[in-house]
A = this chain, B = another copy of it.
Amino acid sequence: MLHFSKDDFSGWERFYRANLLNSLSGFKATHLVATVNRQGLPNLSLFHNVVHLGADPALIGMVNRPKTAAPHTLANIEVTGKWTMNSVHPDILEKAHQCSAKYSDGINEFNECGLTAEWKNDFAVPVVGESSIQYALSLVEIIPITHNQTFFIIGKIEHCWIREDLLTPDGFLQLEKAETVTSTGLDAYFVTQSIGRFAYAKPDLPPRKI
């Protein structure tokens, strides 16, 4: 095994360090995040660091980079308190990756990158029409991470829209079938292959596939 310590990290070239330390923590939940500004103009951006915080209430957390690097999504959420999150698939991957470019304020990335803005159920922010899984959130809390000027944004799920063939009888969604994309490092994308589901683990029972 190769061994590196924090003293090594600080000596590395910036992109080498970012690639390695981003890869280290594994696969991430790639999402297209849509917002609108005060005038209702849409913005679309690519987020990778997303967590499920809980199901009841239905809470999601996502990491916003420092304001200097990624200002628009956060500013729009601060103003409107609303956003949508949308799954990425191989057929829209190039367009989704292009949404990570630093477009100027006031540019509508849906138009620039060729993705479809769809307004649904009177929610103020559009979803990405090409996504198989779309959900709409309202702001719960923005937690500033003071150690590196990032933000942990917590939202409550208000609506979700799911391609009908993905839902199974126990509520599980077939993300492999949807070819939902996952990412790692700065720029690497993957689809997945199932290796199994397991029964709820108990101390006195051996693990069992379901």
**Residues A55 and B171 in contact in the complex (CB < 8 Å), given A2-B164, A143-B143:** no
Q: Please encode chain A, from 168 to 210, with 1 for each CB lying within 8 Å of some chain B CB and 0 for all others.
A: 0011110110001110111111111111111111110111001
Cβ-defined contact, B21 with A58, below 8 A: yes
Dominant SS at the A interface? Answer: mixed
CB distance from A72 to the nearest CB of B (A): 13
Contact indicator A201/B100 (Cβ below 8 Å): yes
Tell me whether A19 and B190 are in contact (CB under 8 A). Answer: no
Q: Which residues of B contact A124 (CB under 8 A)?
A: none
Stretch among A26-34, A36-44, A75-83 lining the B interface: A26-34
Other-chain contact of A26, B59, B87, B150, B200 (Cβ < 8 Å):
B87
Most buried by B among A54, A93, A107, A194: A54
* B172 engages A188 (CB within 8 Å): yes
- Please tell me if the beta carbons of B54 and A148 are within 8 angstroms of each other in the complex: yes
From the candidates B6, B104, B188, name the one contacting A158 in the complex (CB within 8 A): B6
The listed residue with most B CB atoms (<10 A of its CB), out of A55, A112, A154, is A55
Q: A26 CB to closest chain B CB, in angstroms?
A: 4
Q: Give residues 1-51 of A contacting B (CB, 8 Å).
A: 1-6, 9-10, 12, 14-31, 48-51
Contact, CB under 8 Å: B148 / A53? yes
> Which of B9, B16, B57, B187 lies in contact with A148, CB distance below 8 A?
B57
- From A90, A107, A154, A173, name the one whose CB has the most chain B CB atoms within 10 angstroms: A173
Report Cα–Cα, A2/B166, bound state, in Å. 10
Q: How far is the CA of A28 from the CA of B48 in the complex (A)?
A: 10
Cβ-neighbour of A24 out of B25, B98, B99, B133 (below 8 A): B133
17 contacts between A and B (CB under 8 A): A1-B134, A1-B162, A3-B160, A6-B157, A17-B55, A17-B58, A19-B171, A25-B60, A26-B30, A26-B50, A27-B28, A54-B148, A100-B201, A172-B188, A175-B184, A189-B197, A190-B194
